[in-house]
Structure 1
Amino acid sequence: MRVAILASGNGTNFEALTKHFQSGDIPGDEVLLFCNHPDAPVMKRAERLGVPHESFTVKECGGKEKYEQRLLKLLKQYKVDIIALAGYLRVVGPTILNEYPDSILNLHPALLPSYPGLNSIQRAFDDYKKGKIKETGVTVHFIDAHLDHGPIIAQKAVPIKADDTEASLESRVHDTEHVLFPAALKKVILERMNKQ
């Protein structure tokens, strides 16, 4: 199984996944890191970790459709079987979705269907302060045409503590992501390999 990781920012989840690939914990090959921001810190992480990395923007492609066509061509060039979205802050359109049905995993910092979209941790923390919830969490799911929607692969709750700040909660959510995402990706790859 050949895996591409798509990211847009800092790349802590990319690094967590890469360490699991490089230690042999996740089977298959991490063949590509793609980032839609050439200057994002994740590009430096890829360089340091020795992962092939490519980057281009929607703007330089002349719009979303051409960007997705170019990205699909890149994924085909690297013979990618599975895509992991690790903080990739773009909605994946039909050009790529249709080519990779049930093969694109997304990581979301909430217990979906709660808090889809942006600022999930902040919104959960605000609801905790209002007495509406006691926990948030992390979800790994296959994506479909709807935002933060699709079959759930794994979820893990993160309790919100009385002395939490938004920053401390965010830190614990990220720690949970770094454990849950590699485990979920490993599970999906092993299931695919067993079917071959």
Structure 2
Amino acid sequence: MPTSSRPPLRVVVLISGSGSNLQALIDGANSGELPIEIAAVISNRPDVFGLTRAKDAGIVTQVLDHKGFASRETFDAALMQTIDHYQPDLVVLAGFMRILTPEFTRHYLGRMLNIHPSLLPKFQGLHTHQRALDAGESHHGVTVHFVTAELDGGPAAIQARVPVLPGDDATQLAKRVQRQEHIIYPLAIKWFAQGHLVMHEGKALLNGELLPASGYQIEANEP
């Protein structure tokens, strides 16, 4: 089937904060560059700016506050039910600050993507920019990967590398990385929507070819 005749990919986006990557997806969908329909935006925190971005774009929003649940398992079960109501083809984690249960990740295996601000497998977890500076790295960056039960450990789809410049602090480095986030996340989702990017037997494939462990590489040399 030609790419142009594919229906838009139904996407549910999960957020916990300002939603800058969500905005990149909204902009791509509105321009026609990104062949997706954002069916809903779900936040585990009320009153975050990402919800405002979604509402301004006319997208359905829901808040499912994790503080109202007795355990991670009960929250994830309710979140699965909420997501599945929208019947998404893809679940996109865009700054969703929750560690997910194995049952949740199994349920969406191969159809859930995350973006992480480091060149995985380096600097899994939090505070990646300061950790990269403290380690004396010459390059830092961002990874889009499929989500598995291993935290920040699923197969990588794409990475963008940026230079660490003399005098950088964590804020400056974060801004440089974030510019690349807004490029490569829509690109990875576009590949998925077009059927080019898939997860098969625990590996990421692009156009039927096995990607390297670090995913497709983009070198961003901008200051």
In the superposition, the TM-score normalised over structure 1's length comes to 0.92
Structure 1 residue 96, shift from structure 2 partner: 2.2
Helix, strand or coil at the partner of 1:98: helix
Deviating more after overlay: 83-92 vs 162-171: 162-171
Q: Does 1:170 align with 2:171?
A: no
- Match runs of 1:23-42 below 5 Å: 23-42=31-50
Question: Is 1:8–1:40's contact at 8 Å kept on the other side of the alignment?
Answer: yes
Whole-angstrom distance in 2 between the partners of 1:138 and 1:104: 17
Q: Does 1:150 align with 2:154?
A: yes
Structure 1 residue 62, shift from structure 2 partner: 3.0
- After the TM superposition, which segments of 4 or more aligned residues of structure 1 sit over 6 Å from their partners? 192-195
Percent identity of the aligned residues? Answer: 34
Deviating more after overlay: 57-66 vs 100-109: 57-66
1:5: which partner in 2?
Answer: 13
Q: Does 1:81 align with 2:89?
A: yes
- Match runs of 1:41-190 below 5 Å: 41-128=49-136, 133-190=137-194
- Indicate the structure with greater helix content: 1
Question: Is 1:72–1:95's contact at 8 Å kept on the other side of the alignment?
Answer: no
Helix, strand or coil at the partner of 2:107: coil
Structure 1 residue 56, shift from structure 2 partner: 1.4
Whole-angstrom distance in 2 between the partners of 1:193 and 1:182: 12
Whole-angstrom distance in 1 between the partners of 2:114 and 2:51: 19
Whole-angstrom distance in 2 between the partners of 1:89 and 1:101: 19
Q: CA offsets, 1:60-117, max 9 Å, x none?
A: 2332222111111111111111011111000121332122111110100000000000
2:218: which partner in 1?
Answer: none
Whole-angstrom distance in 2 between the partners of 1:92 and 1:114: 20
Whole-angstrom distance in 2 between the partners of 1:108 and 1:63: 25
Question: Is 2:188–2:197's contact at 8 Å kept on the other side of the alignment?
Answer: no
- Indicate the structure with greater strand content: 2
In the superposition, the TM-score normalised over structure 2's length comes to 0.81
Whole-angstrom distance in 2 between the partners of 1:125 and 1:84: 28
Whole-angstrom distance in 2 between the partners of 1:46 and 1:62: 28
Whole-angstrom distance in 1 between the partners of 2:169 and 2:127: 15
Whole-angstrom distance in 2 between the partners of 1:127 and 1:192: 35
